[in-house]
Structure 1
Amino acid sequence: MHDRTGDEIDEQPVEHDPRCEDGWIDRDGDTPQPCLTCKPHLRQKFERRHHG
């Protein structure tokens, strides 16, 4: 597999949450969570908010 620049990358199987709907887990709930597989750019912000 190649990245956007054409360099070869190792494809790692990624666990995807089956509850994901359009990049969100429990989107209509009280506390929607981003699916970090679909929205990896939100990982740092999400972890900082929920883990201190």
Structure 2
Amino acid sequence: LVKVHIANLRRKLKDNSSNPYILCVRGFGYMLERRGRLRDNDPLSPLIDED
């Protein structure tokens, strides 16, 4: 069931299989890869540590 939802999300995001947004981490689950820089007015920017 989860694989079906992930596949649907990947299709809607037009996820490139060679450089995916949604990553499968073995033993952990799925995670989204952050791309680009955060905007200054992004309300989540204080919560996300940019290294």
Whether TM exceeds 0.5 here: the answer is no
TM, length-normalised to structure 1: 0.23
Comparing both structures, which one devotes a greater share of its residues to strand?
Answer: 2
Greater per-residue helix proportion: 2
Q: TM-score, normalised by structure 2?
A: 0.23
